[in-house]
Chains A and B, each alone.
Chain A
Amino acid sequence: MTEIASAPVMGAAPGRTGDRLRLLWHSKTGRVGLALVLILALLALVSALGILPNDPITQNAAIRLQGPSAAHWFGTDQFGRDVFARVAAGVLNSTRIALVAVGFATVVGTLSGVAAGFYRGFSDVAVSGVTNVLFAFPPLLLALALASVFTRTWFTVAVAIAIVYTPIFIRVTRGPVLSLREVEFVSAATATGQRRSAIMFRHVLPNITSILIVQITLSLSWAILTEASLSFLGLSTPPPAPSLGSMIYEARTLVYVAPWTMIAPGVLIVAYVVGLNLLGDGLRDSLDPKNRGTV
């Protein structure tokens, strides 16, 4: 379930962003991934702005379970709600939960991982101990137990997912920092009398950005899958707010008469996760120093 980003760190100093983007664009997987992610992000944006012709929550019994048409592109569900508007709102829900969860996990995980690897000593023992404890929990069970602690809103679900993914960021950053602290430019910075916190932020952190960018992209895809699984189990954002996982759960009994109710959210989840995985792979290739100079 969890795969940790393995982009090389040493020597992967931040090069010119233009070169990196060009490399990403030259990789076919990166291009397809970026396109898919942008399309879905646009769908989420359209839903957030409320400019879709139909409302995702308003019910209309007169148009129950209608197939796709010009008025309802993805048909309607058992309450006569527009499936397109609902999947767009579902994508928005997944996107904001994934962004907040991964944002929190990145900041807390990276700072803890870098501090543990750089300062060693007690902070390392404490951070590694907490990481081991959180890793020993089954991830989905941990997320659903945490999600039960708070009143369920999209934000509390995001926090629950964030806590599950923080240890991954700790592990991903701690290892490279352990080797970076022995590198000559860090010793040189220490010899020039710079403060340790300054060395950490100015010299160590920029050298692990490649690995972080890849890890963030992959984690976004897992966060989307975790949120969808939680909402399938009825433990994410409460109804009537649309969520892709709960739409699939509700569609189980409708699939024979209205297959579009399952196909639409199913295809969108898969497309989103495929897009993020391809983008992650493309970024890994373009940030790999071995591919430098190939543009």
Chain B
Amino acid sequence: MLRRLLANPIVSRLISSVGTLAGVAVVVFIMLRAIPGNQITASYGIEAAALTDEQRAALLSYYGLDKPLGVQFFSWIGNIFRGNLGVSARAHQSVASLTAQSLPVTLELAIWTIILSLAIGVPLGMLSASKPDSPRDAVGQAVGLAGLSIPAFLLGTALVTVLSKYLGFNPNGAGYAYFTKNPLLNMQQMLLPSLVLAFGIAAPIMRTTRTAILEVRSQDFIRTAKAKGISTRRLQIRHVLGNALVPIVTMTGLQFGYLLGGAVVVEQIFSLPGIGRQVLVGIQQKEYAVVQSTVLLIALGFVIVNLLTDLAYRRIDPRVRAQ
């Protein structure tokens, strides 16, 4: 019974995902403590040197840093299971409430980015694959190459400076507007960062689409379908694109998983208070609780998206469906 359960691919994936998360917890915990200084030196700066031994000991005890590392680790993990992600000393807020503010920003940015990347990447890949080595293929490939080669921070900085100077368009200059409070301003603020990110992510999606379509088109079943006299439209959509979807979905899922980790550079340029900036500031301020718990949440998101991608292509792969 147990053997059969373990042989189930979904169950074994779930078990290995739990292992991965445990590994992430250990790595982030050790890495943070390897960074020179601690929360006290980060909050007090050079004044930390003026603290008396008693004051230092009191602060260490307040932050729970006086306990052995093993105890610190397991008390952190235990608290997480009780729903307590820790507290940010700098923001005077719990990590859970900080994340409740930053996660929607990152999620919204990730969703817009994926929609735009698919809207750019898939048609471009189809266009390129429709006539390999033709001028239209060259255009598609050139756009893909530009997407892979132009760094987001360069494109973002250039867009912000040019648009604000010549068109006076700088929605991100004002404070961040949440979608629930001011949807119009929020969408304007999301436009440029998601475009910048989408330009980079559309490139691998475009390349994957092109390769997948060319590969599917050379398969025997396409020749058979053509011989049966199926209309070109039906052939392209149902047989070619249908079979090419698996790698496209895998690539999209992978990219979405990465986006959930926050796009630190783009969030920084466009002043978006997302997950990436939360971790960046946490690392700079040595806020152990913030970084540890947020990174673990990011890893959890990544693992869930990967699992869902796996399940999705089990559903859309015509060969698997046929079984």
Q: Are A and B a genuine interacting pair, yes or no?
A: yes
Instruction: Tell me the A residues contacting B by CB distance below 8 Å.
Output: 1-3, 129-130, 132-141, 144-146, 148-149, 221, 225, 228-229, 232-233, 245, 248-249, 252, 255-256, 262, 266, 269-270, 273-274, 277-278
CA distance A262 to B156 in the complex (A): 13
Q: Is the CB of B31 within 8 A of A266?
A: no
Chain A interface: which of B3-11, B78-86, B124-132, B257-265? B257-265
Q: Knowing that A136-B303, A138-B258, A229-B152 are A-B contacts, what are 12 other residue pairs whose CB atoms are under 8 Å apart, sorted by A's residue number?
A: A1-B201, A138-B298, A141-B261, A141-B264, A141-B298, A145-B28, A229-B151, A229-B265, A252-B161, A256-B165, A269-B154, A270-B149
Q: Is the CB of A245 within 8 A of B153?
A: yes
Closest 7 CB pairs of A and B: A138-B261, A133-B23, A273-B149, A136-B299, A132-B20, A274-B149, A232-B153
CA distance A264 to B222 in the complex (A): 49
Main SS at interface, chain B: helix
Q: Is the CB of B154 within 8 A of A266?
A: yes
Residues of B50-83 at the interface with A, using a CB-CB cut-off of 8 Å, are none
Q: Is the CB of A129 within 8 A of B23?
A: yes
B137 CB to nearest chain A CB (Å) = 12
Given A145-B35, A262-B157, A273-B148, answer yes or no on A1-B200 (Cβ-Cβ < 8 Å).
Answer: yes
CA distance A248 to B16 in the complex (A): 42
Does B268 reach chain A (CB closer than 8 Å)? yes
B124 CB to nearest chain A CB (Å) = 16
Q: Is the CB of A229 within 8 A of B153?
A: yes
Q: Is the CB of B204 within 8 A of A3?
A: yes
Q: Of B23, B31, B262, B279, which contacts A146 at CB under 8 A?
A: B31
Q: Of B158, B204, B261, which contacts A266 at CB under 8 A?
A: B158
Residues of B274-305 at the interface with A, using a CB-CB cut-off of 8 Å, are 276, 279-280, 283-284, 291, 295, 298-299, 302-303
A197 CB to nearest chain B CB (Å) = 28
Q: Is the CB of A145 within 8 A of B23?
A: no
Does B107 reach chain A (CB closer than 8 Å)? no
Q: Which residues of B contact A233 (CB under 8 A)?
A: 264-265, 268, 280
Given A132-B16, A277-B145, answer yes or no on A138-B276 (Cβ-Cβ < 8 Å).
Answer: yes
Q: Which residues of A contact B149 (CB under 8 A)?
A: 221, 270, 273-274, 277
Q: Of A129, A145, A248, A252, which contacts B32 at CB under 8 A?
A: A145
Q: Is the CB of A141 within 8 A of B161?
A: no
Q: Of A132, A232, A274, which contacts B265 at CB under 8 A?
A: A232
Q: Is the CB of A136 within 8 A of B154?
A: no
Q: Is the CB of A228 within 8 A of B151?
A: yes
Q: Is the CB of A141 within 8 A of B265?
A: no
A140 CB to nearest chain B CB (Å) = 5
CA distance A144 to B283 in the complex (A): 9
Residues of B17-33 at the interface with A, using a CB-CB cut-off of 8 Å, are 19-21, 23-24, 27-28, 31-32
Q: Of A149, A248, A269, which contacts B31 at CB under 8 A?
A: A149
Given A138-B298, A141-B261, answer yes or no on A130-B23 (Cβ-Cβ < 8 Å).
Answer: yes
Residue contacts A-B, CB under 8 angstroms, 16 given: A133-B23, A136-B303, A137-B298, A138-B258, A138-B276, A141-B298, A149-B36, A232-B151, A233-B265, A233-B268, A270-B154, A274-B145, A274-B146, A274-B149, A277-B145, A278-B145
Of the candidates B20, B24, B200, the one having the most CB atoms from chain A within 10 angstroms of its own CB is B20
Of the candidates A225, A262, A269, the one having the most CB atoms from chain B within 10 angstroms of its own CB is A225
Q: Which residues of A contact B280 (CB under 8 A)?
A: 141, 144, 233
CA distance A13 to B263 in the complex (A): 40
Does B34 reach chain A (CB closer than 8 Å)? yes
Q: Which residues of A contact B262 (CB under 8 A)?
A: 138, 141
CA distance A149 to B88 in the complex (A): 21
Q: Is the CB of B27 within 8 A of A133?
A: yes
B40 CB to nearest chain A CB (Å) = 17
Q: Which residue of A lies closest to B260 (CB)?
A: A138
